[in-house]
A and B are shown apart, each in its own frame.
Chain A
Amino acid sequence: MANLINIKKGLQIPLLGASEEVLRGRVTSEFVRICPEDFHGITPKLAVKVDERVKAGTTLFYAKDHPEILFSSPVSGVVAEIERGEKRRILNIVIKADKEIEYEDFGVKKVSSLSPEDVKQSILDAGIWYLIKQRPYDVVAVPGKDPRDIFVTGFDSAPLAPSYDFILEGQETDLQAGLDALAKLTNGKVYLSISTKTKSKALREAKNVVVTEFNGPHPAGNVGVQINHIKPVNRGEVVWTLNAMDAVLIGRLFNSGHVDLTRTVALSGSEVKQTGYYKILVGAELNSIFKGNVTEGISLRYISGNPLTGRRIDGNGVLRAYDSQVTVIPEGDDVHEVFGWASLSPKRYSSGGTYLKHNRKYRLDARLLGGPRAIIVSNEYDKVFPMDIFPEQLIKATLAFNIDKMEQLGIYEVAPEDFALCEFVDTSKLEIQRIIRAGLDLLRSEME
């Protein structure tokens, strides 16, 4: 019987537009775009030129500081364009996709018969190492360092998040192969956290891992929260993290010998007419599922990911590397609400008591609904931050970049996503995730 951990603090934001659990089809697009900025903590160095032919699995670029970390193409085709921004930073690598995907062959391998080194090398060679992230710093894992443990989250508790039971359906053998592979990569343990609600046998009865059940509101599904409750990260320790869908992609590599970055993605959000799930290749353009399927006549915000931590894309955007969810909400910049501070409108949602509570789902837009202020209200962040950490004090230490204080208060245990709910509830409308991200990056450059 798995251990059960109850999470009490947190918040389940009642948003409209949860995905209906129906598979609506497969999304392909003529052009596929890979955005190096998805991969945090690496500086991309190109390995291909425009007009070069690539297969699915061919290296597109690698990490400048760790040339063994490769990033492979999800499709076969021809490199059409390298889009660059300021200081020649690579924004997108655009590939004109073939009709039929041609795969690099990495060979079908049985994980149990491989040595740890072989497992690691196989993942690196295939260019999907980036699926494994590390704490501290929440960046792509550094392959040279042995992780104390590996933590895999088996559910997503974010608003409108995809059901892992649904997206893992039919992927059971790949999931187990992925977990087996991860078990080879650490001398410690692989911890798989599952929701008490999960019915998936593949998750509940996963082998080679320590299964822990979590019960409670978001952010119970965040791997950072799970680590904090299972075995917190101390100074000097490194743990690796990923989610079950990423583990599936790793397992798929060993079982099929191919780099197949097809994800089952939830299309959600209040502005989507017909929600549901799609099989989408990472980097594929999403306009075909948006077209005619979203509210017209108002400005919209398209998000790859969930409304708390996702990345803003536009109507022609692509599925980003780590996401199994696409969300469309109103932008709200065309709304002029009168006397908001006195509003009794049932359309306004607050987790606090300054608005009446209604038992309904809300259609929230992207407005800040206030102006930035100094931190005034106390005990606001704590209520949605279920870790043994003082969030407000840590945020302040990070703003001041007081390294000693940041270490003492637990900066090594957190990722920006752990602060997403703090940012949502914040009366002072601070950009807390950005603050933590900047703090982690600066800390990393100081420490390494």
Chain B
Amino acid sequence: MKALRKYLDKIKPNFEEGGKLHWLWSTYDAFETFLFVPNSTSKSGVHIHDARDSKRTMIIVIIALLPALLVGMYNVGLQHYMAVGLEAGVFTKFIYGLIAILPQIIVSYVVGLGIEFAVAQVKKEEVAEGFLVSGILIPMIMPVDTPLWMIAVATAFSVVFAKEVFGGTGYNVFNVALIARAFLFFSYPSKMSGDQVWVRTRDTFGMGGGQVIDGYSGATPLGQINTTEATSFGDFAFTGITGQPLSISDMFFGFIPGSIGEVSTFAILLGAIILIATGVGSWKTMLSVFLGGIFTVLVLNIFAKNAYMEMPPLYHLLLGGFAFGAVFMATDPVTSARTEKGKWIYGFLIGFLAITIRVFNPGYAEGMMLAILFMNAFAPLIDFYVVDANIKRRLKRVTNKA
């Protein structure tokens, strides 16, 4: 490491003011601070600083995402080999999923970070770390069969129009990853919903080729209950892609068709534990999303008119993107409500809206994405009223006295 430090010190003058590579300063700085903690010391104010910084915070989120990503990769392989009716070991399934998803992650990172670096360079700022999380979230909330070019276009669109035009990380109104998904959802609906996109049936780089077996159906559980003819939940049964019945444990551990990251509620809960233990994600937001969801489902159960309305809360929490959205999307501090009271309201309404969209809008089997984006827009308003209560209290002190 000493040699590396020496090398960095040697090339550093080139990137500083007046150096011939000064136009690459942000890029140099991003790599240097990635390798070494900056040795700049405080110039004003406090003389000592807490060891956490933006990099540390983002890394924790990525670690929290890993369980869901790894289980998601395994599940991609699992669903694939079931669909083509081939036997394969756990390792083979995982590798299949890995090579299916890795290109998506790479594309998302290259495109997104490319834009981030370029913008930082133009603005002569340090490169912010926000996209390290968005870049891994984007593939995790897409169907596995999303073409790479779509991921590239969606990532570029969302980084530029959802983030950079507002001023970059910390200033965006909407969650960057969800904007990427929404962009594709409305632009290429056939690639983003329906029965055909959730399981990769073709081979990946020549691995796992084969013909889809008879009786295959790629519908997600939520897609199934959304379109079922059954009039009560009792007459309805969730089935896997080969028609086999799905158990609660399949749904909990994530062996069902769906987006890569959202399937395993178990892995998402592991992530939630990491986020809450480190204080990086707000437990208030997570809990209130779940409470809002459960409350809404219970009300729907009372007035149930069809199978979807009758579906008990547990299924709602296990299926679709509910848990993933609650733990990783709703808690994005930049786009969420920022006051503590506001977080309760914000989360509760996300849960409420997500379930409402799911159950009442036949066009969208999943409501989490729209619910969170909608509440992103309302988060500042919620904060406004929470802060306004404080302002009123302060004003009252003056008027009471007079």
By a beta-carbon cutoff of 8 Å, the part of chain A in contact with chain B is 13, 15, 159, 232, 234-236, 301, 303, 307-310, 312, 327, 329, 331-343, 348-355, 364-379, 382, 388-390, 392-393, 408-410, 416, 420, 423-429, 431-434
New contact pairs (14) apart from A354-B52, A364-B48, A408-B391, CB-CB < 8 Å = A308-B48, A333-B40, A340-B53, A340-B55, A341-B34, A352-B278, A353-B277, A353-B278, A366-B48, A369-B49, A376-B169, A377-B280, A379-B340, A426-B49
Instruction: Tell me which of B279, B340, B395 contacts A354 (CB under 8 A).
Output: B279
Q: Are A349 and B41 in contact (CB under 8 A)?
A: no
Q: Are B128 and A370 in contact (CB under 8 A)?
A: no
Q: Are B38 and A368 in contact (CB under 8 A)?
A: yes
Q: Are B170 and A307 in contact (CB under 8 A)?
A: no
CA distance A15 to B46 in the complex (A): 14
Smallest CB–CB gap between B74 and chain A, Å? 25
B57 at the interface (CB under 8 A from A): yes
A339 (CB) vs chain B CBs: closest residue: B35
Chain A residue contacts of B244, Cβ below 8 A: none
Q: Are B128 and A373 in contact (CB under 8 A)?
A: yes
A-B contact count (CB 8 A): 213
CA distance A434 to B52 in the complex (A): 21
A332-B41, A354-B56 are known contacts. Are A303 and B47 too (CB-CB below 8 A)? yes
A contact face: mostly helix, strand, loop, or mixed: loop
Q: Are A433 and B57 in contact (CB under 8 A)?
A: no
A307-B46, A352-B278 are known contacts. Are A371 and B36 too (CB-CB below 8 A)? no
Which one of B226-234, B287-295, B331-339 contacts A? Answer: B331-339
A13 (CB) vs chain B CBs: closest residue: B48
Q: Are A374 and B47 in contact (CB under 8 A)?
A: no
Chain B residue contacts of A428, Cβ below 8 A: 54, 170
CA distance A379 to B193 in the complex (A): 37
CA distance A159 to B48 in the complex (A): 11
Q: Are B36 and A336 in contact (CB under 8 A)?
A: yes
B33 at the interface (CB under 8 A from A): yes
B167 at the interface (CB under 8 A from A): yes
A345 (CB) vs chain B CBs: closest residue: B51
Per-residue CB contact flags for chain B residues 85-114 toward chain A (1 = under 8 Å, else 0) read 000000000000000000000000000000
A366-B42, A409-B390 are known contacts. Are A308 and B49 too (CB-CB below 8 A)? no
B contact face: mostly helix, strand, loop, or mixed: loop
CA distance A420 to B42 in the complex (A): 13
Q: Are A374 and B167 in contact (CB under 8 A)?
A: yes
Chain A residue contacts of B50, Cβ below 8 A: 349-352, 369, 424-427
B271 at the interface (CB under 8 A from A): no
B171 at the interface (CB under 8 A from A): yes
Q: Are A377 and B37 in contact (CB under 8 A)?
A: no
Chain A residue contacts of B56, Cβ below 8 A: 340-341, 354-355, 370, 427
Instruction: Give 8 nearest A-B pairs by CB, closest first.
Output: A370-B53, A374-B170, A340-B37, A341-B55, A433-B45, A348-B51, A353-B278, A337-B37
Chain B residue contacts of A427, Cβ below 8 A: 50, 52-54, 56-57
Number of B interface residues at 8 Å Cβ cutoff, please give it: 60
A374-B171, A410-B394, A434-B44 are known contacts. Are A424 and B37 too (CB-CB below 8 A)? no
B338 (CB) vs chain A CBs: closest residue: A378
A397 (CB) vs chain B CBs: closest residue: B387
Chain A residue contacts of B170, Cβ below 8 A: 373-376, 428
Chain B residue contacts of A370, Cβ below 8 A: 37-38, 49, 52-56
Smallest CB–CB gap between A167 and chain B, Å? 22
Q: Are B282 and A388 in contact (CB under 8 A)?
A: no
B401 at the interface (CB under 8 A from A): yes
A-B contact pairs, 26 of them (CB 8 A): A234-B398, A309-B46, A333-B41, A335-B37, A336-B36, A338-B37, A340-B36, A340-B56, A353-B279, A353-B280, A354-B279, A355-B51, A366-B47, A367-B39, A369-B50, A369-B51, A373-B169, A376-B130, A376-B333, A378-B336, A378-B338, A392-B338, A409-B391, A423-B46, A427-B53, A427-B57
B59 at the interface (CB under 8 A from A): yes
Q: Are A424 and B278 in contact (CB under 8 A)?
A: no
B168 at the interface (CB under 8 A from A): yes
Per-residue CB contact flags for chain B residues 269-286 toward chain A (1 = under 8 Å, else 0) read 000000001111010000
Query: Which residues of B (111-135) have their CB < 8 Å from a CB of A?
Result: 126, 128-130
Q: Are A329 and B48 in contact (CB under 8 A)?
A: yes
